[in-house]
Every structure is written in C-alpha cells, then in structure tokens.
C-alpha cells in the first residue's frame, strides 16, 4: 500500500484578485508539486473555513459547560457557607 504525504499547501491571491495555489506531496514514487486552479483553491478554503467554524462551535460549547460547572460549584460553596 502506498501512502501519500501532504507536505505543503499554498494559496494566495494574485494581483488581479484571482486565487492560485500549489500542493506539494510526497509518495512512494517521489515528490511532486501540483498546481491548483482557482476553483480548487476556493473549494479547499471553503472546507477549511467550515472546519474552523465547527471547531470554534465545539470549543464554545465546552466553555459554556465549564462555566456552568463553575457556577454550580460556586452556588454550592455559597450555600454550604451560609449554613454555618
């Protein structure tokens, strides 16, 4: 089974506003650099953006859970202190 390792992805905007990119890969037969079209660059950036949004939402949900636990712990500590 041959594995392909992605070495480097580069996407940049040209002076005329178009996107251009390249993808360097390494495999069992050597290294190569692929030229990416504007539509390929746009698709890759869209996938990355979707992943970033998903990750940010997961982090926000985790933080909200942590805050709720801290709030609960504070309320319990206050109630226990008030009983004394």
Q: What is the pLDDT of residue 4?
A: 86
pTM greater than the 0.75 cutoff: no
The Cβ of residue 41 has, within 10 Å, a number of other Cβ atoms equal to 21
Which residues in the chain land under pLDDT 70? Answer: 1, 82-84
Q: In the chain, what is the straight-line distance between the N-terminal and C-terminal CA atoms, in Å?
A: 69
DSSP one-letter string for 23-48? EEEEETTEEEEEEEPHHHHHHHHHHH
Q: What is the pLDDT of residue 75?
A: 77
**Domains of the chain, residue spans:** 5-83
Nearest to 10 by CA among 22, 27, 28: 22
Q: What is the pLDDT of residue 14?
A: 94
Q: What is the pLDDT of residue 1?
A: 66
**22 pairs with which residues across the strands?**
10, 35
């Amino acid at each position: 089974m041959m594995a392909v390792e992605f070495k480097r992805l580069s996407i940049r905007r040209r002076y005329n506003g178009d996107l251009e990119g390249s993808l360097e890969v390494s495999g069992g037969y050597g290294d190569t650099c692929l030229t990416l079209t504007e539509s390929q660059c746009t698709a890759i950036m869209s996938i990355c953006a979707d992943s970033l949004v998903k990750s940010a939402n997961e982090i926000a949900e985790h933080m909200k859970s942590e805050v709720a636990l801290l709030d609960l712990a504070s309320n319990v500590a206050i109630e226990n202190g008030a009983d004394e």
